Copies of this chain bind each other. A is one copy, B any other.
C-alpha cells in the first residue's frame, strides 16, 4: 500500500496531450503507475460528443509511446474516462491518478488511496436492472479492497464508466428471448448510470441490497448514493470502477473529502467538503491547496430551485446537462476562486434530485 498521486493537466484541445507527455518525460509517473486518466473534454457532453473519443485516442497514442502495449490495448490497463462538457468557464483538463512508488515514508493520518477494477461483460437484459446493481456492488467492493479501504465510510468518491443499450445488443437480447429495460438507447444511458450508482450505494452500505428492485431504478430519486459518479459509454460492454478514499496506510500527501449538494446553489455543501480536508473556504490561498473538485450536477426535475422557476427543461436549444454543469462549476469557482473543476452531468441516484456529490482532493501541508 502506497497511496495515490494526482496531477491536474489543463489542455488546449481534446487531443492536447503535451501536458501528459511532460509528466511522462519528467518521470512524475510512468504508464504502469497510472491507474486512471479522467478527462473533462470540451464537447457537448451529449450523444454526439466526439471530443471524448478524440481525447481517448490521443491519450492512447501518447501513452503507447511510453509502454510496449499497443495503443488500442492501453485502455485494458489504464482507465480512460473522458467526460464531455466544459460549459461556462469550466477549464478543459485531464486528471491523472497514479500509484506512488512504495518507497515513500508512511503517514499516520488517513491519506488518499484509490483502486480500480472492472466487471465482466453485461448481458443486455441485465443493463439498468438489479443484476447490474449487484455486479457493480461487487466490483466496488473489489476496488475498495485494492485501494486498501476497509471501512465503507472511508470511501469518498466512486467513478464508474458503464455500458449502454444499442440497437445491436437490443436485437441480441431479443434473439436470446430476453427483454431489455428500454428500447430507447439514449434512455438506456440513464438506466445504466442509475443502476451503477445504486451498486455503489449497496457496496458502501448506504443502501441495503434488499431495497433495490427494478422499480426503484430511475424511478425513486429519494434513493441515492452520496459518493457515486457514473457515466455511460457506448464503447464498453462491462463497467469500470475507480474508488477513491483515505487510508492510514497511504503515504500520499493528498487527502479527499466529500459532501452532498442538495441543489445547484448549495455552497454550504462545497464548503463542508473543503473543511473535511482541513482547509478553510475563506482562505485566500485556498485554490493553491486544492488539487481538484469532483462534482455531479443536474437540474432539478420539477423545474424549481429555491422556490423559483428555472427554464432548463424547457430550453430546446441547449441540453439540460449543459446548463447544469455551467452553474455548478461557477458555484464551485465562486468558492475556490478557480474555474477548474470536474463537473459531470446526468446524476441519477447520485445525490438527491437537483443536487449531487462533491469531493475535494487537497494537499496536506
Contact = CB atoms under 8 A, between A and B. Distances in A.
A71 B58 CA distance: 11
Given A10-B309, A308-B339, A333-B265, A53 B15 contact: yes
A54 B306 CA distance: 27
Given A330-B331, A334-B331, A334-B334, A314 B47 contact: yes
A61 B71 contact: yes
Interface in A3-28: 10, 12, 14-15
Interface stretch (A84-92, A97-105, A140-148, A196-204): A84-92
B339 A89 contact: no
A50 B338 contact: no
A83 B314 CA distance: 17
Nearest to A306: B339
A151 interface: no
B48 A314 contact: yes
A86 B265 CA distance: 16
A265 B316 contact: no
Contacts of A41: 50
A42 interface: yes
Contacts of A311: 42, 48, 86, 92
B44 A316 contact: yes
A41 B308 CA distance: 14
- Each complex incorporates copies of this chain amounting to 4
A46 interface: yes
A91 B12 CA distance: 31
B317 A339 contact: no
A312 B186 CA distance: 13
Given A264-B330, A308-B10, A42 B53 contact: no
Interface in A179-232: none
A76 interface: no
Interface stretch (A107-115, A252-260, A319-327): A319-327
A91 B322 contact: no
Given A53-B54, A71-B61, A319-B316, A326 B88 contact: yes
A43 interface: yes
Interface of A: 10, 12, 14-15, 41-44, 46-51, 53-54, 57-58, 61, 71-72, 86-92, 264-265, 267, 299, 305-306, 308-312, 314-319, 322-323, 326-331, 333-335, 337-340
5 contacts: A10-B309, A265-B334, A305-B339, A326-B330, A327-B330
Given A12-B309, A88-B88, A88-B326, 8 more contacts: A44-B317, A54-B54, A86-B311, A89-B327, A317-B318, A330-B331, A331-B333, A334-B334
